[in-house]
Structure 1
Amino acid sequence: MTAAPVMRPVIIPLDPPPEPLELLERFAHLPFPVLLDGAADHHDLGRYSYFTADPIATLRGWAADWPALRDRLRGTLRSDAPIDAALPPFQGGWIGWLGYELGAAFDRMPRAAHDPLDLPDLSLALYDWVIAWDHASGAAWLVSSGIDADGVPDPARAQHRADAVLAQLANRPNPARGTFSPTTATADFSADAYRHAVATVIEHVLAGDIFQANLAQRFSAPFDGSALALYRRIRARSAAPLAAYLDHGDVQLLSASPERFVRLDAATGAVEARPIKGTRPRGQELTSDAAFAADLVSSEKDRAENVMIVDLLRNDLARVCAPGSVDVPTLCALESHPTVHHLVSTVTGTLREGRDVLDLLAATFPGGSVTGAPKLRAMAVIAALEPVTRGAYCGAIGWLGLDGGCSFSIAIRTVTVARGIASLHAGGGITALSDPEAEYQETLDKAAALMAALAEGG
């Protein structure tokens, strides 16, 4: 019997480390350039960044295609993938996004009637090389795995690919930066219609139908110019630890997400989710900023909302984690970002023997913080009230490694550029204690930085 090919990645330290945004421009001529951008909080959520381009395979599909999509992904995973523990954990594999409506693959989830962009529910690309940064140490590496489109490694290919990337790093001049025209986004909901939708959710809660639902509204604008230029503007205004720029050809995602959906360490089986529930704007002065933070921390409504979602995630993780391993090490901690304060909790567990990353995604997607509780009924209420599909918004952006590990953000604070339109959503959790006007204002607070970036041009 022929022995399975052995993976021998080529690992090359890059000194000095290149600038992540510079690489997006330098490699823009290649297909599917992507940057998972730890643009803030370099010692925790934003510790690592990853850049790559020119994938060896792509994968797109809809919720109905999930069995085939799952089998394709599972076929590229290797339990023997030699992951160097001294490097950032993603060392080759899939990068992309899972759209919110992919949730229909895992549960009986209804879909909003209108899809304005007609994008797939899943778009991933398989990358055989990556430049990875550890911002805590200031180091960066080029890692070339040598895999082909089926995940089969070839050491000669690994070296050839590494040499080609190094040549581009050394020789390709920086191109001129693109620009985009200022544009104004408008909402799909009127203010009154959104308040009425909030009131309808409250009626569902008071009737005992649900405990809460995450209601959102979409803003869209004509877009002309460079999506990368817009990402630069967003990054400057609202740096985030789980930011991302994904160019998947006919669609670009520009994300400033502060929220982890789920992370899995394939070597240990350790799972972590970090749901956000509870938001206040940052103040213009120290006194007002502290007052907003104190109001959030003392809010009965926001704490209850957060605890409900923590309970939901504990149940989701328990479906695939070892009995007794699910824990909540942090509950309702204050976390401050450039434009908002949040309440954040941490839910952990250990993946059960015989389960893998795709089982984990099926058990937890979409994230409970962007649906509500109970999850299935909350998603039905959302589909009935929101006039359009969510697409990438409230889905997940991130990576799935060759070793079966993963790290995905919740795709909030995210702009989708497609078909000459830039669109974004903003929403919040609605409970019995919600005030329709306050909930409407919260969506504007959350969308403010992205809307301002669009209006500025650049």
Structure 2
Amino acid sequence: MTTAASLQVCVTQLSDATLSKLVHSESFERSQVFNTIFKRIAHHPWSLLLDTSGSQQSDGRYNIMAFAPSLTVTATKGNVYLSDENGTQCVPETPFEATRKYLHSKVVNTNVISEQNIDDLPFIIGVAGMAGYDAGRFYEALPSVAKDDYETPDFAVGLYLYSIIEDTQTGTFYYCSCDGSNYPHFIEKSSDRNSNGNQDSGLFKLTSPFSSNLSKPQYTECIDKIHHYLKAGDCYQVNMAQRFSARFEGDVWEAYCELRNQNSAPFSAFLRTPLGCVASISPERFMRVKNGKVETKPIKGTRPRYKDSVKDAQSASSLLNAEKDRAENLMIVDLLRNDISKHCKAHSVEVPALFALESYKAVHHLVSTVVGELEEDTSPLTLLASAFPGGSITGAPKIRAMEVIDELEPHRRNIYCGSIFYMGFREDMDSSICIRTVLAENNTLHCWAGGGIVLDSNADDEYQETLDKVSKIVPVLTALNK
């Protein structure tokens, strides 16, 4: 491949005067500035927000917005497409490989001009977007039983040469640009209102109640079938999910803002593709790579939160001491140790945290951490592709579990259990697992909830757990603008 020409990016700290101009007010609450700015471009195709949503978790420090990508890679119905301002062409590579070859290659020789120390800033410029669960079909031969009724592609990633980054610890805002400018003119020219008259104009509200694609008896029957496979030795764990859908009208961005305020999840994200919107309030990291260090943090084990502090503490203690949940978690830790070891240096993969408790507004989670050192000749995108989709939301062994999922779940998952990710020009990468995620397209919302099924799983308990997991999504959206 021909070496890419050198690219130059300017990183500028935005002054309060500039922020005032961008938010159209001389007085503003600093904690609201970032989302107020993004609101102005939220209706543009390919607008992307990576949002810590005020999370107090250690993973939440930087908010990133990116816009106006110069190139995009999408994948749908078994084909991969490369698009620019001149048109679209089908390419032979798989989605992550196409992203590395056609997008990331454009920024590998980037030089930075900045008066500030930006060593700790993530991303700056690079590739970012979504890889849906079904992007895994480009890498594994899977059955096609579940119905694919989505217009949103399985994979949608852009090359972003413009971004704004907020350091929530210092309150500092940075503008990153490859055109030599130190002011985000693209945002200044954008209106707060969506003027194209489509479904995203006006206040958000549901126009039908949420309904599941599985009744409780049907869900129980699926659990029985999984137990049959487990007893036969086909697999050890299967992540079974149900999909909830409702009709809506109005602004999906408004719905996202309410969800992020109610959940405060460190891997929240909003992405508008040309065919739909993804609004994610995920608490789960998939893969992170920084300075060659790999980290993945699988979640397995969930209990509901309670307003009563005593009852809430009992719920957390129940999770920490649950033999079943610890066994599930350990299975996925072993799976991920194997996944990342394929591209990590020998003997570098370790588990520094096993069965740690992380608590969010709706639920308590059991979280483990697996780390390693990336092989020097391996791209983080290669690591991501080889481990995709994440083992915490498939089961083990992964491929057999995915076959069972496709057999039993009535519809494909699209973005659910996929990933929102970025990889900057310095090959710093971070990615989420898209649980607690809503897909909006054609005036229809979809959200999902699932759980790992093992031999001692009880169907009633597992069904209730799925309801607990959407307890800060379905009621929140139902209550909006009633």
Mapped pair 1:254 → 2:279: yes
From 7, 24, 46, the equivalent of 1:32 is 46
8 Å contact 2:4–2:108 — kept in the other structure?
no
Larger displacement relative to structure 2 (400-409 or 62-71): 62-71
8 Å contact 1:98–1:395 — kept in the other structure?
yes
How many angstroms does 1:22 deviate by? 0.6
> What's 2:35 paired with?
21
Give matches, 1:121-270, under 5 Å.
121-144=154-177, 146=178, 158-160=179-181, 162-163=182-183, 165-166=184-185, 168-169=187-188, 174-175=192-193, 178-182=202-206, 183-265=208-290, 268-270=291-293
Give matches, 1:295-444, under 5 Å.
295-444=318-467
Give the letter for the 2:62 counterpart: Y
Give the letter for the 1:246 counterpart: L
> What's 1:149 paired with?
none
Sort the Cα spacing of 1:166 and 1:287 in 2 relative to 1 into closer, same or farther, 3 A.
same
How many angstroms does 1:59 deviate by? 1.7
CA RMSD of aligned residues (A): 2.2
TM-score for both structures, normalised by structure 1: 0.91
> What's 1:106 paired with?
139
Q: Secondary structure at the match of 1:365?
A: coil
How many angstroms does 1:112 deviate by? 3.8
State the Cα deviation string for residues 133-189 of structure 1 (Å, max 9, x = none).
121222220011x2xxxxxxxxxxx214x44x15844x8675599411234210000
Give the letter for the 2:123 counterpart: F
State the Cα deviation string for residues 279-314 of structure 1 (Å, max 9, x = none).
000012001100100100010000000000000000
How many angstroms does 1:109 deviate by? 2.7
8 Å contact 1:252–1:418 — kept in the other structure?
yes
How many angstroms does 1:43 deviate by? 6.0
CA distance in 2, matches of 1:312, 1:289: 31
> What's 2:100 paired with?
73
From 64, 71, 75, the equivalent of 1:61 is 75
Sort the Cα spacing of 1:3 and 1:387 in 2 relative to 1 into closer, same or farther, 3 A.
closer
How many angstroms does 1:400 deviate by? 2.2
Q: Secondary structure at the match of 1:448?
A: coil
How many angstroms does 1:42 deviate by? 4.7
CA distance in 1, matches of 2:125, 2:192: 25
State the Cα deviation string for residues 24-70 of structure 1 (Å, max 9, x = none).
22224543221110113356211111112222222211355472542
How many angstroms does 1:432 deviate by? 0.9
8 Å contact 1:74–1:358 — kept in the other structure?
no
Q: How many residues align?
A: 440
CA distance in 2, matches of 1:191, 1:31: 38
CA distance in 2, matches of 1:127, 1:79: 13
> What's 1:89 paired with?
122
State the Cα deviation string for residues 48-107 of structure 1 (Å, max 9, x = none).
111122222222113554725423533333444347643421111222110111112222
Give the letter for the 2:253 counterpart: L
Larger displacement relative to structure 2 (80-89 or 43-52): 80-89
Q: Secondary structure at the match of 1:393?
A: coil
Structure 1 segments unaligned to the other structure (5+ residues): 147-157
How many angstroms does 1:361 deviate by? 1.5
8 Å contact 2:6–2:111 — kept in the other structure?
no
CA distance in 2, matches of 1:118, 1:384: 21
CA distance in 1, matches of 2:180, 2:111: 16
How many angstroms does 1:15 deviate by? 3.2
Mapped pair 1:115 → 2:132: no
CA distance in 2, matches of 1:4, 1:193: 54
8 Å contact 1:231–1:245 — kept in the other structure?
yes
How many angstroms does 1:391 deviate by? 0.4
CA distance in 1, matches of 2:404, 2:46: 35
Structure 2 segments unaligned to the other structure (5+ residues): 20-29, 81-91, 195-200
Percentage identity across paired residues of the two chains: 37
